[in-house]
Structure 1
Amino acid sequence: MDETGPGEASLGTTIVGIVASTDTVDSGPTPDGAANGPAAGDAVVLASDRRASLGRMVSSKDVEKVHPIGDAAALAFTGSVSGAQALVADLDAERRLYELRRGRRMSATALAGYAASAMRQQPYGVQHLLGGVDGDGAHLFTFDAGGSVLAQPFAADGSGGPFAYGTLEAGYVAGMRVDEAERLAARAVAAASERDTASGNGLQLVTVTADGVDSRVYDDPAAVAS
């Protein structure tokens, strides 16, 4: 998705997300229907390429497109850079207010509900994936421009999203370990970067667990995918 206007920086990009498990036991075959609806897990892996565009020009090669929201959630964006920055600020402000008033962490489900409501009220010009961990486990949510929200076991979006989905569909296993999910996410971003001209210039890999949000960047997705 790219709703940016002339002269506006755009993240026509590849973003992916996968629900995973910190369990060290090898994951088994995917049960029938496991790819539909939310999946059990206690971690979420989010990944993106690092390219931003201004029209037909590559305006940046080191953009971080996955942003933490507190210490238990993160959002990956595609679309308007300014819109993404505004939505991050709005969500983080709402999270802080919620936690100040209630004295407890905002759940990933509540954060997703607020994000959907915010998108219905204001045209941010972005698509995004929200990953978070709370008392009910790990969650990955997808959104559309109208503000609908769906829980998913894995997802991809952006101009490179259709290319990434092929890799995710072939490699996803319900309950897969975090290291497996990180390699799969890296392969999906790499595959999309080969075909989508708006994606490229490396990898940002973010893992959300109960211990916090860990973000790493790589010049080449192969550093993780292999």
Structure 2
Amino acid sequence: MDADMAAVKTGTSTVGICFDGGVVVGADHRATMGHFVANKSVKKLFRIADNLALTTAGLVGHAQSLSRTLAAEMSLFELKRGQQMTVKGAATMTANILVGRPHWVQLLIAGVDDTGGSVYSIDSAGGSIPDEYCATGSGSPYMYGVLEDQFKSGMTEKEALKVAAKALLASAQRDAASGNGMDLAVITQKNRFPTIGRNRTRRIAQAVLIFPAHAPSSPHL
């Protein structure tokens, strides 16, 4: 790894799930520097527009810079066009930025538009792939096990929240670079980007807990 890449990395587990009427997005809180837990409350889930969310894995500085750039671009688009950018449009813009200047990140762009809910996974070189559910970061192998087992088309918001929480808990249990709690948000046509409060997030996580609460290795919620 180059010297300029040897910085704080989010390690990370992030997830995006489409359900009937919208999308659920989630991310953990841990940032690492090598084997050291550098921070336990890093923000990896960003609102870039009322209908769009960004989740980030990779270098913290690159992730934060991109979140600011994308939020500004979405606002500028709305001012010029008088309408919100589509999810596909936001994913394409993000991919084009990364093609022009690669960042040490893996992203999810998730949101709703006239076509419904969508989730796009975007790699550091600008590759953009849509899917009904996506996971990114070092915890993604553990998350995909949960997602592939429990995702179903036409899920309700409540079902999607539970699957997202369970996936994040699975990664926190097995991935040393993920954990220290989670953020969850729901985006629908009716309710644009209400974040899930800490107390409700805790209740959702406790409801799907996949290991004994007293286990010594249990991640803190």
Place the TM-score, normalised by the shorter chain, in its bin. Answer: 0.7 to 0.9
Aligned counterparts of 1:63 and 1:115: Cα–Cα separation in 2: 22
TM-score relative to the length of structure 2: 0.87
Residues 202, 135 of structure 1: CA spacing in aligned structure 2 closer, same or farther, 3 A cutoff?
A: same
Q: Does 1:178 align with 2:157?
A: yes
The within-5 A match list for 1:29-40 is none
Q: Does 1:59 align with 2:59?
A: no
Displacement of 1:8: 1.7
Which residue is 2:214 aligned to?
A: none
Displacement of 1:5: 4.2
Which residue is 2:10 aligned to?
A: 11
Aligned counterparts of 1:71 and 1:4: Cα–Cα separation in 2: 37
TM-score relative to the length of structure 1: 0.85
* 1:112 partner SS: helix
Displacement of 1:86: 0.9
The answer to whether the 8 A contact 2:102-2:125 is kept is: no
Residues 11-68 of structure 1, C-alpha deviations (whole Å, 9 max, x = no match): 10111110012xxxxxxxxxxxxxxxxxxxx211111111111222112112221101
Residues 180-200 of structure 1, C-alpha deviations (whole Å, 9 max, x = no match): 010001100111111110001
Which residue is 1:225 aligned to?
A: 208
Which residue is 1:87 aligned to?
A: 66
Where relative contact order (Cα < 8 A, 6+ residues apart) is larger, the structure is 1
Aligned counterparts of 1:116 and 1:193: Cα–Cα separation in 2: 28
Residues 220, 53 of structure 1: CA spacing in aligned structure 2 closer, same or farther, 3 A cutoff?
A: farther
CA RMSD of aligned residues (A): 2.0
Q: Does 1:134 align with 2:117?
A: no
The answer to whether the 8 A contact 1:126-1:145 is kept is: yes
* 2:49 partner SS: coil
The structure with more helix, counted as a fraction of residues:
2
Aligned counterparts of 1:52 and 1:149: Cα–Cα separation in 2: 25
| Structure 1 residue identity aligned to 2:66 | L
Aligned partner of 2:196 among 207, 211, 216: 216
Aligned counterparts of 2:55 and 2:168: Cα–Cα separation in 1: 13
Q: Does 1:46 align with 2:45?
A: no
Residues 134, 3 of structure 1: CA spacing in aligned structure 2 closer, same or farther, 3 A cutoff?
A: farther
Task: List, as ranges, runs of 4+ consecutive aligned residues in structure 1 with deviation greater than 6 Å.
Answer: none
Structure 1 runs not aligned, ≥5 long: 22-41
Structure 2 runs not aligned, ≥5 long: 210-221
Q: Does 1:164 align with 2:147?
A: no
Displacement of 1:117: 0.2
* 2:193 partner SS: strand
Aligned counterparts of 2:2 and 2:15: Cα–Cα separation in 1: 20
Residues 224, 207 of structure 1: CA spacing in aligned structure 2 closer, same or farther, 3 A cutoff?
A: farther
Aligned partner of 1:154 among 133, 142, 163: 133
* 1:58 partner SS: strand
Which residue is 1:31 aligned to?
A: none
